[in-house]
Chain A
Amino acid sequence: NAGVTQTPKFQVLKTGQSMTLQCAQDMNHEYMSWYRQDPGMGLRLIHYSVGAGITDQGEVPNGYNVSRSTTEDFPLRLLSAAPSQTSVYFCASRVTDHSYEQYFGPGTRLTVT
């Protein structure tokens, strides 16, 4: 199993550009989520999904869109990038029971200039 994979690993965007961060998992996990990690802020939940076709907002959803057309994939879209979205983004997945381990991807470091 590859686990949770994320692409790209690094990305630089100009303000106003759009892009999609890709996330895929091969563990047949129903629950997938996106976090951003900023210094001194820990990990903050952006959006999450409990299954294909179902998504919901987390703590910091503004400026981000998600969709979940398959169990395996959960892309995160930035429609109009802003410098405040400079961060490290992590995708994670787990089975639906929250007491099970959440598996994180390796992260995408995004810089918006």
Chain B
Amino acid sequence: QQQVKQSPQSLIVQKGGISIINCAYENTAFDYFPWYQQIPGKGPALLIAIRPDVSEKKEGRFTISFNKSAKQFSLHIMDSQPGDSATYFCAASVSNFGNEKLTFGTGTRLTIIP
């Protein structure tokens, strides 16, 4: 059972456009929602993360939008650049006194074309 559902599976965006990746979850106990970026041949790296007490978090061109009532969160990449081409994973976890386990979405392969 996939606890975090991610869409789309792949996405092609023109340079300068907005890339949007969506995730939905079922477990209302989740209280930490990170996004990871994976460059081909490398391990994932933390991009940006949010807690459910805020509806939006912005870091440079990257923004997480969070909708607690709908149990959805999304990653927006503004002014997308070819260097943003990578696979993006959303994830979620529940506070558990250091025993937390990250549950990942299935990933979105983003390609930025000139």
Interface residues of A (CB under 8 A from B): 4, 30-31, 33, 35, 40-45, 48, 50, 56, 58-59, 90, 92, 96-99, 101-102, 104-107
Contacts and interface: CB of A to CB of B under 8 A. Distances in A.
A50 B101 CA distance: 11
A101 to B, nearest CB: 4
B9 interface: yes
B43 A98 contact: no
A41 B106 contact: yes
Contacts of A107: 41-43
Given A31-B98, A58-B101, A99-B32, A42 B107 contact: yes
Given A42-B6, A106-B43, A98 B104 contact: no
B100 interface: yes
B46 A98 contact: no
A47 to B, nearest CB: 11
A98 B45 contact: no
Nearest to A6: B43
23 contacts: A31-B98, A40-B106, A42-B6, A42-B89, A42-B104, A42-B106, A43-B104, A48-B101, A50-B98, A50-B99, A56-B99, A58-B101, A59-B101, A90-B44, A96-B98, A98-B32, A98-B100, A98-B102, A102-B46, A106-B42, A107-B41, A107-B42, A107-B43
Contacts of A56: 99
A40 B45 CA distance: 19
A104 to B, nearest CB: 3
A59 B107 CA distance: 17
Nearest to B3: A59
B43 A105 contact: yes
Interface string B79-114: 000000000010001011011111111110000000
B101 A104 contact: no
Given A42-B89, A42-B105, A45-B101, A101 B51 contact: no
Contacts of B106: 40-42
